[in-house]
Amino acid sequence: MIVLQALVNGLVSGTLLAVPAIGFTAMFAVLRFPNFSVSGVATLGAFAGYLAYGAGLQMAGSLAVAFIVAGAAGLFFDKVAHLPLVKQGALPAAIASIATGLVLENVVRLGFGNEPRGYDRPIARDVYLGDIRVSPQQLETMALALALMLAVFTALAFTRIGKAMRASADNPELAALKGIRPERIAMMASFVGMGLVGVGGMLFGLDSSIDPLTGTRILLSIFAAAVLGGLGSAPGAVLGAFLIGMAEELSVLVVGSQYRAAVGFVAILLVLTLRPRGLLGERAF
Amino acid sequence: MLSYLLFIATVGGVYGLLALSLNLIWGGAGMVNLGLAGFFAVGAYASALLTTAGHAPIAAGWLLALLAGGLAGLIVTLSTTRLREDYLAIVTLGFAEVVRLMAANEIWLTRGADGISGIPGPWKRALGQDFNAVYFLIVVGALMVVFFVVRRIDRAPYGRALRAIREDAQVAQVAGKSVLRFKTEAFALSAAIAGLAGALYGHFTSYIAPDLFLPLITVYIFLAVASGGTGRPAGALLGAYMVMTLLESSRFFVEWIPAVTAVQRAALKELLIALALIVVLRLKPSGVLPERIPPAPRAAPGGTS
């Protein structure tokens, strides 16, 4: 029974994790460097959403604010700091992205301090399905996350820009030959990718509380989900997120909650040793 | 004042060791180690535990720190070296996080968040006031040894092979260099140096705790190597002292800004370091002392190298 409850909890946190993991992996597919500033951007999104929610916006509206603010920050930093460095290789850009993540984290710290803050959501009684307990709030955040993911996949599958993005991720030269402008695709990837990361930060904040390290705490899980599914693969990121979410919850039963964050690292090592291209390979979609 | 300067110079020397360690793989082989703080911590804890709980002599602790750092480096690279650099970045970052988690939670071994205090310093009681000065000389000695080792590597055929791998691993492989072996060895050696730096740090301050090994240290060292000059040991060393100067002067600088809390002051300092790293990478990626690539020696008649 405890195991079943852990699996359900894992399903919930996996759904939340899938959102930033898709964002991270999509950026990797198009921009070709691991963007470590997801930690700072997730924090920024969480605080932007917090302010919007405090100002009286609905949950969906607050998430939209988190998306736009985080996306804009991602676009800005890619433009001024990361992408100019990608020409020298993925490493300089990755290193710069650590610095930009740190910048965002500390801008938030300057404004809000280190104390944790909670979104003031109405309190609701837990729902029991048999012996499994879920809170209506968890269900709400899960539904929002699922809706957002559905929107992303629909856009990738059916819209012009979505198809262009996939084409560009698969083979940039060929896509450019077909008249797809790579800079526009890159900008789109920066904005949407980091927007998703920002929403992810807020979704995790809704479940507990937020502080400047909110993003840093989910960083390894995001990486693990993306690497597990195959770096650059959006469906892989979703699969990876569910697996990591459940593995993290199960690990709490075995080694206690303090090693939750290590699960992602162990998963990354295992995948890289046994199946280096991830479960679904590195194809974008 | 003098003891303050000595303290800064010693910690700067420890950062210098870390910078040499990073430069060996980043400048040398084009690999990255975002978990430098983790290897630093492994060395610090290994030596501290052996000398406090194990009552072993300090020199044994330092030796163990070297070995533990190198071993940790091997473990991390074994699963990732044949893979791409971006994976190594993610794995090393995760490694540092896990080391910190273990240091904070394996209380039976590391005393958790309380940290380990009373780490012995060499001849500390006998030296009294002069301890800082003597320890500074010890760190300088370690720096010199490591400096000459890495510079020797830099100029030897081994270093050229590493650089070849950095420029184009495929070509190096075709030329008969075992890329995997070179990368693994270089990373392990680099991690061992970081471990030694950790031990030197712990025995100097006599206290270590998980919170001293934040990822921020890794950012300091990247700033040091990038600003000093990637691919040149002297540049890395110079960079370490430049970062130390920036850190200390920023402390005075933020004191000047009125009406900021301690948390905000710390945030400003981190902000400054992060911005400095971005600016250096964008504007002067070759650093103050750019890499000099010595001409390859002419092959002796009939020689093969």
**DSSP readout, B204-247?**
HHSEE-GGGG-HHHHHHHHHHHHHH-TT-HHHHHHHHHHHHHHH
| Residue B79 in this model has a pLDDT that exceeds 80 | no
Token couple for A68: 């736009």
Structural domain boundaries enclosing B27: 2-214
Taking chain A, what is the end-to-end CA distance rounded to the nearest angstrom?
A: 36
Phi, psi of A249 (to 5 degrees): -65, -40
Interface contact B273, partner A, CB < 8 A = yes
pLDDT range class, residue B303, cuts 50, 70, 90? very low
Q: Domains in chain B: how many in total?
A: 1
Q: Are A39 and A101 in contact (CB under 8 A)?
A: yes
Q: Across the interface, do A106 and B263 touch by the CB < 8 Å criterion? A: no
Q: Which of B86, B95, B218 sits opposite A94 (nearest CB)?
A: B86
Mean pLDDT within B63-73: 93
Beta pairing, strands B116-117 & B207-208: antiparallel
Question: What is the Cα–Cα distance from B145 to A239, expressed in whole angstroms?
Answer: 50
Average pLDDT over chain A, rounded to whole?
89
What is the 3-class SS of A20-89, one letter each residue? HHHHHHHHHHHHCCCCCCHHHHHHHHHHHHHHHHHCCCCHHHHHHHHHHHHHHHHHHHHHHHHHHHHCCC
Residue B259 lies in a domain: no
pLDDT range class, residue B158, cuts 50, 70, 90? confident
| Residue B127 in this model has a pLDDT that exceeds 80 | no
Residue of A nearest to B78 (CA): A273
Residue B247 lies in a domain: no
Q: Are B159 and B149 in contact (CB under 8 A)?
A: no
Averaging pLDDT over each range in A45-59, A162-176, B290-304, which range is the top one? Answer: A45-59
Q: For residue A51, how many other CB atoms are within 10 A of its CB?
A: 15
Q: For residue B130, how many other CB atoms are within 10 A of its CB?
A: 11
Q: Across the interface, do A113 and B273 touch by the CB < 8 Å criterion? A: no
Mean pLDDT within A7-14: 91
ipTM above 0.90, yes or no: no
> Cβ contacts (< 8 Å) between A219 and chain B: which residues?
93
Question: What is the Cα–Cα distance from A138 to A59, expressed in whole angstroms?
Answer: 13
Which pLDDT tens digit goes with each residue over B219-230? Answer: 999 999 988 887
Residue with tokens 């850190």: B247
Which pLDDT tens digit goes with each residue over B238-279? Answer: 999 999 888 888 877 777 777 678 888 888 888 988 999 998
Q: List the single range of B116-120, B148-152, B174-178 with lowest mean pLDDT.
A: B174-178
Beta-carbon pairs below 8 A across chains A and B: 130
Residue B157 lies in a domain: yes
Question: What is the Cα–Cα distance from A262 to A256, expressed in whole angstroms?
Answer: 11
E strands present in chain A = 127-129, 132-134
Averaging pLDDT over each range in A84-98, A161-175, A240-254, B80-94, which range is the top one? Answer: A240-254
Residue B65 lies in a domain: yes
E strands present in chain B = 116-117, 207-208
Residue B205 lies in a domain: yes
Residue B43 lies in a domain: yes
> Cβ contacts (< 8 Å) between A33 and chain B: which residues?
86
Question: What is the Cα–Cα distance from B146 to B13, expressed in whole angstroms?
Answer: 11
Averaging pLDDT over each range in A131-135, A251-255, B28-32, which range is the top one? Answer: A251-255
Which pLDDT tens digit goes with each residue over B279-290? Answer: 888 887 777 777
Hey, what long-range contacts does B125-132 have (CB within 8 A, 24 or more apart)? B132/B3, B132/B6, B132/B7, B132/B10
Residue B267 lies in a domain: no
pLDDT at B299: 59
Residue B136 lies in a domain: yes
pLDDT at A191: 95
CA angle at B178 for the pair B177 and B181, rounded to the nearest 5°: 135
Which pLDDT tens digit goes with each residue over A175-231? Answer: 888 888 888 888 988 999 999 999 999 999 988 889 999 999 899 999 999 999 888
Q: What region, left, alpha or beta, does residue B112 occupy, with left being phi > 0 and alpha being psi -120 to 50 degrees?
A: left
